[in-house]
Structure 1
Amino acid sequence: MQEALIKEIVKKVVDTLEGGKTIPIEVSARHVHLSENHIKELFGKDYKMSKKKDLSQPGQFQYNERVTLIGPKGVLKGVAILGPARDKTQVEISKTDAIALGINPPVRESGDLDGSEKIYIATEKTVIEANESVIIAKRHIHMTQEDAKRLGVKDKQLVRVRINSDRPVVLEDVVVRVNSRYRLSMHIDFDEANGAGYEDGTLGEMII
């Protein structure tokens, strides 16, 4: 309830900043997007995944089910699965996670998986090998066409964003992603959030 209230307050603040370049920031924890085939392999042919909650981006949600990631040097348990299912399994982790697992995934935009790292994904039922599936997500901003027009940017443009926190930093090479289904929000991982002293409700300021 408190998290939802904070997000709504942030949205209202942003909506009142006419012509401003202020953007709400969200921290994206490690998670997995599974393909339909991998869902069947990991949980069973007739298994029905159950939704836990909706996410801030319309149409995106988190399942109740969790998986374990297994690398050459370590294991990460209880990793969230996000839906809906995708054509190809994608695993998004931080650099710290990658070091713990003993792998070296590239920093990529979502969906750019060619040549990315492989990982083993496990449930109580089985273990599968997911080739070319692991990336460190490139920091990015979701926005609609109306947001892009107001902010003076275009799809795939790289911008800089100042994180307005107790430990302010400027993040470079932030990808603008424009789609009518998106809701304005910048996504960073926990490494970036911790380095910037992120707290719930932290806002960013776009610098073009």
Structure 2
Amino acid sequence: MKFMVETSARHIHLTQETVEKLFGAGYQLTKRKDLSYPGQFACNERVTLVGPKKEMANVSILGPVRKADQVEVSGSDARALGIDAPVRESGHVEGSGACKLIGPAGEVELKEGVIIAKRHLHVLESDAEKMGIKNGEIIRVACGGEGRKLIFDDVVVRVNKDGATTMHIDTDEAQAAGSPTEGEIFRG
């Protein structure tokens, strides 16, 4: 069974407290467009991400607000910024990289929260049953464009009731695979 592969570029998830420090008291994020995962959206607002070596302007914020701040970058981004960012599943930010965020109304120093997102497959319960996979399982996925086909190992499965069956990889991984748009489980 084939499924969609999406490239996840650098982005930030923020708490309401951090939103207000960056954009002003009582500020609410505004939706620019919906993402493939239900309830998630790209925001109109952008911030500057600052590391020890470099800064990156106009970094996307994804909504809605979360319980913890999380900055997701590629390995290339982390090296360019000078941030020691571990590969982690989303939400696992304890002891991760530090950075500064700059918004139009203020700055925030994050002592942790910068990660390189572990590649993962969001999968509907019904599709997981058809594929014979379970939540938390580690699988291999074959994908890639002409002349750039490869097999991603160490892909974590995230079974859900809503949404789409979609694999997320970062920009470094997408470039290595020729910007794939679909993949399938590799059992070889």
Q: Same fold (TM over 0.5)?
A: yes
Task: State the Cα RMSD in Å.
Answer: 1.0
Q: Which of residues 137, 141, 149 is equivalent to 2:117?
A: 137
Which among 163, 166, 185 is matched to residue 206 of structure 1?
185
Does residue 1:173 correspond to 2:149, yes or no? no
**Structure 1: which 5+ runs fail to align?**
1-20
Kept in 2, the 8 Å contact 1:23–1:206? The answer is no
Distance in 2 (CA, whole Å) between partners of 1:107 and 1:46 is 33
Which of the residues 163, 169, 178 maps onto 1:188? Answer: 169
Query: How far off is 1:182 after superposition?
Result: 2.9
Q: Which amino acid aligns with 1:39?
A: V
Of all paired residues, the percent bearing the same amino acid is 48
- CA shift for structure 1 position 23: 1.5
Pairing 1:1-208 to 2, within 5 Å after superposition: 21-166=1-146, 167-199=148-180, 202-208=181-187
TM-score under structure 2 length normalisation:
0.96
Q: Give secondary structure in 1 for the equivalent of 2:65.
A: strand
Query: CA offset at residue 141 of structure 1?
Result: 0.4
1:48 and 1:189 map into 2 onto residues whose CA distance is: 27
Cα distance in structure 2, aligned partners of 1:31 and 1:181: 22
SS across alignment from 1:40: helix
Question: Are the equivalent residues in 2 in contact too, given 1:22–1:204 (CA < 8 A)?
Answer: yes
Letter in 1 for 2:40: Q
Superposed CA offset, 1:9-40 (max 9, x none) = xxxxxxxxxxxx21210000100000010001
- TM-score under structure 1 normalisation? 0.87
CA distance in structure 2 between the aligned counterparts of 1:182 and 1:142, rounded to whole angstroms: 8
One-letter identity of the residue aligned with 1:116: S
Quick check: 2:124–2:161 contact (8 Å CA) kept in 1? yes
Provide the C-alpha distance between the structure 1 equivalents of 2:28 and 2:92, rounded to a whole number of angstroms. Answer: 28
Give the SS at the match of 2:134: coil
Q: Is the CA contact (8 Å cut-off) linking 1:139 and 1:186 kept in structure 2?
A: yes
Which consecutive residues of structure 2, in runs of 5 or more, have no partner in the other structure?
none
**Distance across 1 between alignment mates of 2:150 and 2:4:** 15
Structure number having the greater helix percentage? 1
What letter is aligned with 1:35? T
